[in-house]
Amino acid sequence: MGSATLVRSSGPNSLNRNGDGVIAGAPKVWGLIVARDEWRLAAEHMAAHGGRLLSLWASRDRDGDQIVRAAFIASAGVLVLSLPLTAAEVDYPGIEQWFPSAGRMQRAVADLSGLRITDADTRPCYVTPRGPKAIIR
């Protein structure tokens, strides 16, 4: 995967940056920062090798830029993919083709952050009595 950056915690199961707080028996966790064109390729690879999608969410980094993340579990441990987006990017590639449960998670990301997938599904995930736009951002 060309420019992907693998980030591994300092201990096999560390809870903080110092490696303190190891949980016996917990799975190993890796983080992988990917480029836009690698996001779907990585998801496809996880699906092809028995990985399961745990969660998909969006957050902001220290500079306020959006990052879409997906956590997968496989026999080797947990992989958290991170897709940094520029301020001009308001969409990202969907992964529901390999993980059908991602569809609802991606719609939740859209409702809560405004980030949409590049695919055509624009249904809201959350509907409140005042409509989907009533959700606090």
What is the average pLDDT value for the chain, to the nearest integer? 78
Would you tell me which CATH number, out of the four given (2.30.30.90, 3.40.30.10, 3.40.50.620, 3.30.460.80), belongs to the domain 5-134? 3.30.460.80
Q: Which H/E stretch holds residue 60?
A: strand 52-60
Q: Domain ranges in the chain?
A: 5-134
CB atoms < 10 A from the CB of 57, how many?
14
* CA–CA dist 87, 66 (Å, integer): 7
* CA–CA dist 33, 84 (Å, integer): 8
Q: How confident is the model at residue 47 (pLDDT cuts 50, 70, 90)?
A: very high
Range with top average pLDDT, 13-22, 86-95, 104-113: 86-95
Each as own residue / partner, the long-range contacts of residues 128-137 (CB below 8 Å, 24 or more positions apart, any chain) are: 135/111, 137/112, 137/113
Each as own residue / partner, the long-range contacts of residues 55-63 (CB below 8 Å, 24 or more positions apart, any chain) are: 55/105, 56/95, 56/102, 56/105, 56/106, 56/109, 57/105, 57/109, 58/109, 58/112, 58/113, 58/115
CB atoms < 10 A from the CB of 34, how many?
22
Chain segment 20-35, per-residue pLDDT in tens: 455 667 778 889 999 9
Surface-to-core class of residue 21, CB atoms within 10 Å of its CB (0-12 exposed, 13-18 middle, 19+ buried): exposed
- pTM assigned to the model: 0.72
Which of the pair, 80 or 27, is modelled with greater confidence?
80
pLDDT of residue 21: 53
Q: Write down the residue that tokens 């998909």 correspond to.
A: 56
